[in-house]
Amino acid sequence: MKQLLTNATLLTFAGPDGPRAGAAAGALGLIRRGAVLMDEGRIVAVGPADQVLKHPDARKGRIHDAGGRVAMPGFVDAHTHPVFAEPRLKDFELRARGKTYLEIAAAGGGIVSSLNGVRGTSERDLTALLQERAARFLACGTTTIEAKSGYGLDKDSELKSLRALKHLAAGGAIGVVPTFLGAHAVPPEYQGRPGEYLRFMAREVLPAVAAEGLARYADVFVERGYFGTAEAGEFLRAAKGAGLGVRVHAEQISHSGGARLAAELGACCADHLDHADDEDLGALKAAGTMACLVPGSNHFLGLGEMPPARRIIDAGVPVALATDFNPGTCPCWNMQEILAIAVTRMKMTPEEALVAGTVNGAWAVGLGKTHGALAAGMAADLAVFDCTDYRELCYWFGKNLAATVFKAGKVAHAATDLRL
């Protein structure tokens, strides 16, 4: 069905064909009194309302008057870990009592404490959990998520996690870019043998992931106590050989070489980057590897330090922002909250934060040509927010402003009190 959204304060993110850095990193492509005509899941026309309304199909479908509200591409959340069973409230409370993430992990909490939940949950139940979580992302204006496995850490449970993501994607409610993160942590069966574990993952699990088309990317947590660059590199090379793209959890807790490895392998992006130095940033820039920053995890872990967004932007590396939604370090699915943290704690401008959560998010998951901006031919994934100044999206923190969300040209979510 055709749908026309009109009378919107439209952020199109029109701009160069590629991730935005430098001056383009804050360019919104703002159109006041803008309109978007959608049909068959795609955008047919976008521009000033008086021009779009001249299109012969403009009045043939449903018309939504945005009343001057902000409308923009749905957020593309480029880093999430949604395939888990239970929240980790024990870790949460231990942190409040002064323990650190690594101390809690060393004492049996952390990532491996989520294993039993996933191993003991059926594919069907994991899918149902994912569907519930996807509805929450959508309700906050996110229309595509990159989603990682990584809480199964054995062959069956990693495949089960990725198959659950495939079922979620097939439902079409939200876009899903699946990532194989069997290299999230060393499971108890391989304790002290990270290299052997990753060789097992490469030999036994990766071929099945590739054969079933279950993942577009492979990821590794390169960190003290998790995986070193040698075994991570070996695994990621195997993943590339199997046709997967590469992304890396890099420099999150200590300077561990993940960023340099990401650049060396031509990774799509390196994520976290809290401890990246200038040489790392130079290597990322030279390799065309993006930075995906997840300051919600710093916030939730109660860390004083934030990822060095300004230094990364000044180095000319394009930045995406993501939630890092997961039960350990960031149980938050709302990109508006992440934008607020990015502006207040990392000193990104609201314009940079908006670009990072949409168009750069799309490039960070390989979808930049079709998602993350509003142009004829691109996916009709849009969110309308209950505000008329785009800066409000980073300002009313803790409040979800999403009013109406379109996924593939259909209304996928409408706030009951704000129907357009």
Residues that bind ligand NIG (CB under 6 A): 81, 110-111, 114, 221, 249, 252, 297, 324, 326-329
Q: 77: closest CA among 136, 132, 129?
A: 136
Comparison of 280 and 324: residue with beta carbon closer to Fe ion: 324
Strand partners, 180: 218
Q: How far is the CB of 94 from ligand NIG (least distance, A)?
A: 13
Indicate which of Fe ion, ligand NIG, none lies near residue 403 (CB less than 5 to 8 Å, by partner kind). none
Q: How many CB atoms lie within 10 A of CB 31?
A: 22
- By CB under 5 A, the count of residues binding Fe ion is 1
> Tokens standing for 290?
């993006």
Give the whole-angstrom CA distance, residue 307 versus residue 313.
11
Q: How far is the CB of 153 from ligand NIG (least distance, A)?
A: 12
Should residue 91 be labelled a site residue for Fe ion when binding is judged by CB under 5 A?
Answer: no
Should residue 146 be labelled a site residue for Fe ion when binding is judged by CB under 5 A?
Answer: no
Should residue 337 be labelled a site residue for Fe ion when binding is judged by CB under 5 A?
Answer: no
Q: What is the DSSP string of 134-146?
A: HHHHHHTTEEEEE
Comparison of 49 and 222: residue with beta carbon closer to Fe ion: 222
Give the whole-angstrom CA distance, residue 165 versus residue 150.
12
Comparison of 158 and 324: residue with beta carbon closer to Fe ion: 324
Would you give the DSSP letter of residue 154?
S
Should residue 324 be labelled a site residue for Fe ion when binding is judged by CB under 5 A?
Answer: yes
Indicate which of Fe ion, ligand NIG, none lies near residue 109 (CB less than 5 to 8 Å, by partner kind). none
Q: What is the DSSP string of 175-229?
A: EEEEEEEEESS--GGGTT-HHHHHHHIIIIIHHHHHHTT--SEEEEEBSTTSB-H
Q: Strand, helix or coil at 298?
A: helix
Q: How far is the CB of 324 from Fe ion (least distance, A)?
A: 5
Site of tokens 């062959």: 155
Comparison of 324 and 337: residue with beta carbon closer to Fe ion: 324
Q: How far is the CB of 297 from ligand NIG (least distance, A)?
A: 4
Indicate which of Fe ion, ligand NIG, none lies near residue 296 (CB less than 5 to 8 Å, by partner kind). none
- Interacting residues toward Fe ion by CB under 5 A: 324
